[in-house]
Amino acid sequence: MANLTRSDGEEFIALAPQVPVHSQVHTYPLERAGDALEDLRHGRFDGAAVIEIAV
């Protein structure tokens, strides 16, 4: 557990825009959830798999 101060938060917010963050999201329809798990398991992509649920 860490104890962070308001000053720590302010320093982080100031530094955050300087750090390059590249996210990758791969979407799958609900009926292909098994494919998403297989792709993740076999390292077919870096990033996150998102299951889309139609409403």
Backbone angles phi, psi at 20, to 5 degrees: -75, 120
Quote the pLDDT of residue 39: 96
Tokens at 33, concatenated: 């959830």
User: Which tens digit of pLDDT belongs to each residue from 11-53?
Assistant: 999 999 999 888 899 999 999 999 999 999 999 988 899 999 9
Tokens at 54, concatenated: 């139609």
Quote the pLDDT of residue 3: 84
Query: What SS3 class is residue 21?
Result: coil
Q: Where are the domains of the chain?
A: 21-55
What is the distance, to the nearest Å, from the Cα of residue 39 to the centroid of all Cα atoms in its chain? Answer: 16
The residue ranking higher by pLDDT, 6 or 2, is: 6
The answer on pLDDT for 1 being more than 70 is no
